Amino acid sequence: MPEIVYYVAASVDGFIATPDGGVDWLSPFEGGDDDYGYRGFLAGVDAILIGRTTYEQILTFGDWPYGGKNSWVFSHRKLPVVAEEITVTSEMPTEVASMLDIAGVNGAGLVGGGELAGSFARAGLITRYIISVMPVLLGHGVRLLGSQRASGELVLESTARMGEVVQNVYRTLW
């Protein structure tokens, strides 16, 4: 099976978006010289996994940011496909992970959202978590793993301070 890495920014209290899915709270941390390891993360994965809500949000930002990487968008709805490397799927995470394995994908990046990440975590498919903890308290919103309940042990691989942001990298033990 390929390595599946969940790369995400979260508030100190564990939210990745406001209740309406907004990520404007991340604006103060964007635009500087530090990309919080994002380019390195992208260079280390062959494929991208995205939930429908995150995909629709990405489409409002302009150009498709994952050009050249096969991307799977998880949705039960018909969605516009803006690049030839995008596949919209209603398959379960375990089935897509098997497809990635058969296709020879070594690493896949899970970039959102919380519900999709929770589904992958519950199935034991996430092998590494890269969580950038932003110095913000949101109080409520979309949780790191959505409404899903996942359990398992993680091992802290590294911690890096990037200005006011702390990035923790965890590896799963399963």
pLDDT band of 27, cuts 50, 70, 90:
very high
Residue ranges with strand state E in the chain: 3-11, 15-17, 47-51, 70-74, 86-89, 107-112, 128-134, 142-143, 154-162, 165-172
The pLDDT assigned to 18 comes to: 96
Span 76-109, pLDDT tens digits? 999 999 999 999 999 999 999 999 999 999 999 9
- Name the pairing type of β-strands 86-89 and 142-143: unpaired
Q: What is the DSSP string of 63-81?
A: S-TTTTSEEEEE-SS----
pLDDT digits (tens, 9 = 90+) for 116-172: 999 999 999 999 999 999 999 999 999 999 998 888 899 999 999 999 999 999 999
CATH class of residue range 3-172: alpha beta
The predicted structure's pLDDT at residue 31 = 81
Inform me whether the pLDDT recorded for 62 exceeds 90: no
Residues 165, 57: Cα–Cα separation, whole Å: 23
